[in-house]
A and B are shown apart, each in its own frame.
Chain A
Amino acid sequence: MSTQLQRSEQETDESPQEQRLERKRFDESEREAQRTEEESTGDETPYVHLKVFRYDPEVEGKREPHFDDFRVPAPQGTTVLDALMYARDEFDSTLTFRHSCRQAVCGSDALFINGSQRLGCQTQIQDLDQRPVRVEPLPHQEVEKDLVVDMEHFYDQMEAVEPYFQGETPDEEEQLQSRENREKVKMSTRCIWCGACQSSCNIAAGDNEYLGPAAINKAYRFAMDEREDDDIKQHRMNILEQEHGVWRCQTQFSCTEVCPKDIPLTEHIQEMKREAVKDNLKFW
């Protein structure tokens, strides 16, 4: 089944999504080429210099935000999360950050790495251009301690779009979805609630009530699901059409740029804007 799907994907022309991934891969290989001389010279383990944001309201002397430096071994394949864990385990056990799956699945370690929102576990040290590697908590969210930010507001926005399936379940029957419909929502289902997109969006930063890219993408995932009926879809559109809903997006593409799951967020937001326009134009 899955191989069939993959094959059918390859047969079609490259979708926008694939082209974008292609481009990302290209950037990646370019960066790798730049780095071959660096770090791999000599046969001893390469080290990386980390500059890590520190703040702890409960400890005298750490109440003023500052940066700590760590020199951490970074053999090929070391991720920023690996490096942070090394720093914590070997040098400073009070260094605090969230993590769990270490494989870009749980969404707990979105960080501001070298000026961009990325998952610590998905970002390899050798793919980063600047040294030292600067690790900061996500911007536009309050810092609780070190790299840990308050995610409450992000979760509130996600909850606001009712991020769960609301189709009628026929008795003892499967909820079948057409293959086309599954393809349509495929990318949108990949969200891991990491908050990187919300943090990168400076519209969201300026307007706390703006639903933000992740929530609108979540709404897209269900509004586009044909198994939900028209009433529910209308209800979902009503949420999106509010003043601080889809219209706030000004197509900066920052969210799409940073999303670790490569969800075409701006595309989905734009589609919801058009749905909202159609919903309000009554002459067809």
Chain B
Amino acid sequence: MSQSHNRGLIEDFGRWREFAPGMWAWIFHKFTGWVLIGYLFTHVAVLSTAISGPQLYTTTLRSLESLLLVRVLEVGLLAVATFHIMNGIRLLFIDLGVGLESQDKSFYASLVLTGAIAVASVPTFLSGAF
């Protein structure tokens, strides 16, 4: 028997232009899910400064909030959380067998809502940052 050739997985991300909405939704959901886990650790770490007393907690939070980068990241975090929740609800409906034929539209709706909410949050998060 002659040798066969395994092309491996190279085709997958190389053909991202061909990805359909459902595929993008899956990728974004994975990504946002893991970013949220990452944030969870950071969040717990920051809150734990309170163990060493209110003083340290207050100064830590104040100095963090004075950084422009942190403010911008907060907008990003909100966007990530919003997308994950919106698409998570979309996935729950898909699990219930509701609206499978509009799965691409509900993905776009998640994106649009996420964008809108992130933009609307900018004044709140960035006020006084400059």
Q: Using a CB–CB distance below 8 Å, which chain A residues touch chain B?
A: 16-17, 19-20, 55, 57-58, 65, 112, 114-116, 136-137, 139-140, 142-145, 150, 202, 205, 250-254, 256-257, 264, 266-267, 270-271, 273-274
Contact = CB atoms under 8 A, between A and B. Distances in A.
B79 interface: no
Contacts of B15: 115-116
Given A115-B17, A253-B23, A143 B97 contact: no
B124 interface: no
Q: Is the interface of A mostly helix, strand, loop or mixed?
A: mixed
Contacts, number: 82
Contacts of A250: 26
17 contacts: A19-B101, A115-B11, A116-B15, A139-B7, A139-B12, A142-B6, A150-B4, A202-B12, A251-B95, A253-B23, A254-B20, A254-B23, A264-B101, A267-B97, A271-B97, A274-B95, A274-B97
Interface of B: 2-7, 9, 11-12, 15, 17-18, 20-23, 25-26, 91, 94-97, 100-101, 103-104
A23 B94 CA distance: 19
Given A16-B100, A115-B11, 20 more contacts: A20-B101, A57-B2, A57-B4, A65-B5, A115-B17, A116-B18, A136-B11, A139-B7, A139-B12, A142-B6, A144-B2, A251-B26, A252-B22, A252-B26, A257-B20, A264-B100, A270-B97, A270-B100, A273-B95, A274-B95
A142 B5 contact: yes
A116 B97 CA distance: 26
Contacts of A202: 9, 12
Contacts of B20: 253-254, 257
A205 B12 contact: yes
Contact of A139 (B11, B22, B101): B11
A145 B3 CA distance: 9
B11 A266 contact: no
Nearest to B9: A205
Q: Looking at A19, A136, A142, which has the most chain B CB atoms within 10 Å of its CB?
A: A142
Contacts of A251: 22, 26, 91, 94-95, 103
A59 B20 CA distance: 38
A16 B96 CA distance: 15
A57 B9 CA distance: 20
